[in-house]
Structure 1
Amino acid sequence: MAKVKYYFDTENLAYRKIKPKVSKKVGVVLLFLTAAALFGFLCFVALLNTPFFETPKDRLQAREIENMQMRYEILNRKMDQIDEVLASIEERDNNIYRTYFNTTPIPEEQRKAGFGGVNRYKEMEGYNNSELVISTSKKLDIISKELVIQSKSLDEIAKLAKDKEKLLTSIPAIQPVKNEDLRQMASGFGYRSDPFTKIRKFHAGMDFSARTGTPIFATGDGVVVAADNKMSGYGNRIVIRHGFGYETLYGHMSKFKAKAGQKVKRGDVIGYVGSTGRSEAPHLHYEVHKNGEVVNPLNFYYGNISAKEYILISKLANQENQSLD
């Protein structure tokens, strides 16, 4: 019950009841209602931010966030596995493939380099799970870059492998005439006595004595770049360009079986032994050139002789006898 207030009326010498103004009553009521409303709103906001009060929409959103976090964790585990496999491939690439093909390994800092400069992940910042999303995105970007580098490296290795296979078939690796008993090797590479002047001079190839008409074989894959008798002293000669800096020359032929511009394979018959040009007897004069320089053909017969046979033919080739041209 509200207290009743009085005041003393000096004129009438009596106490009189104080009547409150209506406007004041209304103000008090409004103040009370406002305070109650504000308190209620604050309580409502507080309840909304506590786990004890969740709407169906909040529960659905919470499940979606939890599901997203779980998927990101699974994605990170898979990327870790991919990174392990990629690291193994990179190790084989540097230490096996690139070593075999004698090419420079890719530096680790180039493979693992990050992304400097501009902040690529700015739009992902400012959220509850920003750290998880940004770290996963960075890892994915780095793996993607490593895959691009490794893919280019494997393309390079594949090209080197093709070139290696082509090189192995192009190197002049067999004797140019059948020489089962190895006795047809008449004169070797180096200084020999000239059959016409009897003066000791440099002999730029090897001479294989054989009957006129004996088949002559291409010693490696290549293209015939000359089949003529325009080079003084060599008579009918064929020159094959094998690529990789290799060329071979076959001189004193009786006739040709290949012509300029023709592609040949190792073992193809390209002509026949004769004694044309500056020649003392039927034989094949055979030369090997590497990057424009004559080299000893004896070093290239690994394709059809054994180690024991190589020693024998080497002794024959190193005898300082008289050449046949």
Structure 2
Amino acid sequence: MPSPRLRRVAVLVLEGAKPLDVGIPAQVFTTRASMPYEVRVCGAAPGPVAGDGLSYHVVHGLDALAWAETVFIPGYRFPDRDDPPPAVVDALSDAHARGTRLAAISTGAFALAATGLLDGRRATTHWHYTRALAARHPSVLVDENVLFVDEGSVLTSAGAASGIDLCLHVLRGDLGVAASNHAARRLVAAPYRSGGQAQYVPRSVPEPLGERFAATREWALHRLGEPLTLELLARHAGVSPRTFSRRFAEDTGYTPMQWVMRARVDMARELLERSERSVERIAADVGLGTGANLRLHFRRILGTTPSEYRRTFARGG
């Protein structure tokens, strides 16, 4: 039997590249009987590349992008400061025009966005940088809640570990479910993960941009199990409900009641992690009434269920 043709994968290492982001596709698509891939690690030019904590010595330059059928762009430090060198951006654009699939891991989405190929398309990146990506590239439809986004010839993933989810997704498309599951077992990784990256953000309540109503926010955080209305919050702040709503949204990016809901979900997260209380009990304790109501808002905000969240994050879990 003739050997199967090896699929060609390039991993583009940019200045400040993060070691885990580089290592994931390089390891997942290694050449073995069950993985008919050849991987070339490349940079803007052959030679040393200063990374984030590690330095790399890449054998290949941008010619590897012309050779590859799939190009992975690992995340790198300070993506919101400068675009990659023009030669890198042009090489990515040219590769895509030839039919090459481009897949960004974490902040590698910034390099992909610099080509303009994400304009008008959904994309994601590490949750810490989603707002920066949206601000720097306003034509990109940034989705901060997912582990990865597949737009056909351009794919993006969230924080570093979600690069595994992206690679397994690519494998499923290339070789089928069995090959993807085999790779997942070899990596000791879940073939599919529940929910999106929102569940990994430390808190879903945004940090305020200003100090207006800080005392009212603190007051509300200590009364999440009680009925909280716009009128009550505005009365505590000493302004009209209309003024409170407008200024509160300016500070946080959310309406007062959206903020309260996220604060309640955050409190539920802590109770799921640190206690053995039932979902129904937690729902009552955080002011959401019923377990069904908690499940509804938990999935809407975090993309997973309370039970799945507890299995992932509970102590000893």
Structure exhibiting the larger radius of gyration computed from Cα positions = 1
Q: Which has the higher contact order (CA 8 A, sep 6+)?
A: 1
More strand by share: 1
Select the structure that is richer in helix. Answer: 2
TM-score, normalising length: structure 2: 0.23
TM-score normalized with structure 1 length: 0.22
